[in-house]
Amino acid sequence: MWETIKELTPSEWAAWYAAVVATTALVWEIIKYVREGFKIEIQVKANMVLAGQGHPDHGKKFVSINVRHLSGPPTTITHVGYWQFSSFWHKLFSHDAPRWFRRLLKTKSVDGGVFIADDFCSHPHKLEVGTEWNCHIEQGKLPAVGKKGRLYIVIAHTLGKENIWKKLDLTPRT
Q: Can you give the C-alpha Rg of the chain in angstroms?
A: 25
Residues making up the chain, counted from first to last? 174
Domain tally, the chain? 2
Question: Is the domain of 76 the same as that of 135?
Answer: yes
The C-alpha atoms of residue 133 and residue 77 are separated, in whole angstroms, by 9
Does the bond joining 10 to the residue before it have cis omega, within 30 degrees of 0? no
What's the pLDDT score for residue 146? 55
pTM, two decimals, is: 0.63
Residue 74 lies in a domain: yes
Question: Is the domain of 158 the same as that of 111?
Answer: yes
Question: Is the domain of 15 the same as that of 53?
Answer: no
Residue 173 lies in a domain: no
pLDDT band at 47 (very low <50, low <70, confident <90, very high): confident
The Cα angle at residue 108 between residues 171 and 90, in degrees rounded to 5? 60
Question: Is the domain of 90 the same as that of 22?
Answer: no
Question: Is the domain of 28 the same as that of 42?
Answer: no
Question: Is the domain of 26 the same as that of 54?
Answer: no
Residue 127 lies in a domain: yes
The C-alpha atoms of residue 114 and residue 82 are separated, in whole angstroms, by 6
What's the pLDDT score for residue 97? 58
User: For residues 50 and 12, which has the higher predicted lDDT (pLDDT)?
Assistant: 12
Question: Is the domain of 50 the same as that of 128?
Answer: yes
Range of the domain at 9: 2-34
Residue 174 lies in a domain: no
Question: Is the domain of 30 the same as that of 47?
Answer: no
Residue 3 has pLDDT above 80, yes or no: no
**What is the tens place of the pLDDT at every residue in 87-117?**
665 555 555 556 665 566 555 555 566 766 6
**What is the tens place of the pLDDT at every residue in 111-143?**
566 766 666 677 788 889 899 998 888 887 777
b vs e for 91-113, b when ≥16 Cβ sit within 10 Å of the residue's Cβ?
Answer: bebbeeeeeeebeeeebeebbee
